[in-house]
Structure 1
Amino acid sequence: MQSSSDLFPVALMSAEIRGDLTEDVYLLKPNNSSDPSVELAVTRLGLSGQETHRGIPVVLLHGSFSNRRFWFSPKGVGLGAHLARAGFDVWIPEMRGHGLSPRNQRYRHNRVADYARYDLPAIAAFVHEQTGQGAHWLGHSLGGITLAAALGGHYLGDDQVVSAALFGSQISRIYWPLKVPPVEWSGRLLLKRFHHLSGRRLKRGPEDEPIGLALESMRWHGLFGRFGDKERDWWAGLAEVQVPVLAVSAEGDMQDPAWACRKLLDQFASPTREFLCLGPKAGFAEAYGHVEMLISRNAQREIWPLVEHWLRELRLPAGVADASQPAQA
């Protein structure tokens, strides 16, 4: 079968028309890591009849325990579908073992370090090849953390990233028990007994997560932990990143508090940095939660137009309140 790319093997898994939208699903086999079995599904959304007049590319990264359906439902509802109808060229990758991406041989060892160093650069290269231009990137939760890691590690080039938007993403929240070495060691020994964490059993989402992610997070939050891997300090690297950045938190998000989301934003050196905390204090209809900030009726009415405005103007609309909170440890 002929590849859809000159970069590495890419198969077109399906090409469907879903109402007013086109849905093309590609399967990428980058062969750029120590695990040659890695394959990544990437869905491209566009308007039916406009295939030769694609707009500005936007890459949407899902969070943990999730997949492409976070961005658009089978009925064509979601931020991804909204942006496609607004004329954007929407690309939705699924991380290793999520959705249409098959589980790789070393699935249980998958980490953000692998996503950031190998997978996102491959996705960026493919999108750039297909569109001829850099893309806006938007990540929710773990998707935003992965995007920050790729930027801080300098794995993504300036020609590949026009802007970055981070929704409910942070790595500064302190888990005090993990600062006690015996507690961390015991936790790691316990987790190593498992292959993965079940999203359905934990009531966190439709997908599983490899245990490697949990072990990596424990290392970040340990006594001498840092946001990075053995080779690079991603946190320090963010101080050299110049791309425009939007960080969004939510008043009702108990998982990723506003101050921690703001602290991640403040680490960027970007001249254009905007922060927004979604809730009544900023004039929004509700104190949005971690998921509701992007998936809810109010989000469809209030938040999706703000995202569209950011992607077009690289700034928030005039009059939108900055409900930021000062960064603190």
Structure 2
Amino acid sequence: MDFRLTEDQRALRKGVRELLARLFDREALRAAVDAPSLDRGLWRELGAAGFFALRVPEEEGGVGLGLPEAVLLFEEAGRVLLPGPLVATHVAAGVVPGAAEGEVVVTAVDEGLVPWLDEADVVLGDVTGAVPMRSVDPLTPLHKVPGLVGAGDGGGTRPQGRRPVVPTRPAPAGRMPTTGLVDTADALPATGGAGVLPVADELVAVLLTAAEQVGSAGAATEMAVSYAGAREQFGQVIGGFQAVKHLCAGMLVRAELARVAVRAAAVTGDPVEIAGAKLLADEAATGNARDCLQVYGGMGFTWEADVHLHLKRAWVRARLRLPAARAEEVVAEQL
């Protein structure tokens, strides 16, 4: 099986990178950090460019491409730290009216957490009683749903049965209303059980989150190499020191291994390979951000540097969409 990118896929990746460079440059990133509210104009621009409708069939008004192409999009989104519930909106694009065009923002309950709850128009999952929590990532506001098990929680069970779709608006004191729940039988395909996205879509969400991690891991590698080639110490650039070379080489290996695993899983669609890809991608994103911080030295710890943003975003994504402990179990069962 040939996993190399086709000419059309390379052109797609190039086009997306140029689009994001125009729509979300470093100035826009810093503005989003200072005022973490979702830019609806940017969201509509992404919708108009086909970001959310990429996998929607052409006969339904979408682009009609597949999961391998979607992975390329989300790698680029992770590379620039594009904010917002991108994965949930993309996965819901063929189901929730307005999502494909970027007119509707969709988020979802995931591991007991709900990213961007106050900014969402539609929420997949029951968020009754959700309360805001301090997120380590300034670009990803989170709410916690009491009673659901999230990574790091001490135990308990995940509620079974119906998980409604909730059209929402910002609620007082950050709490969600207990009324207005909509039965997902009217909004989502019956496949996968009432109130739950089809299993295939859940797997897609895991893989696209992994793709974002891969993009961030690659960006951290590029940042470290660039800084090491410019920063001088003891009369030479620090990239000439063996210890720094080893750090950068290790970052490249982690990023490329994760990239290959994610792209291969996008082709095969195998659940075990997707779980393994998420494991590798989480390790690459968090490990590379830490090593990039090491290369930067004291400069990396300052608010002005972007290194900490990649590390914090990697931490949050690692908690969402099949975190390590569960992904390891999925892989182990097949060994």
TM-score by length of 1: 0.31
**Greater Rg, structure 1 or structure 2?**
2
Higher helix share: 2
Higher strand share: 1
TM-score by length of 2: 0.31
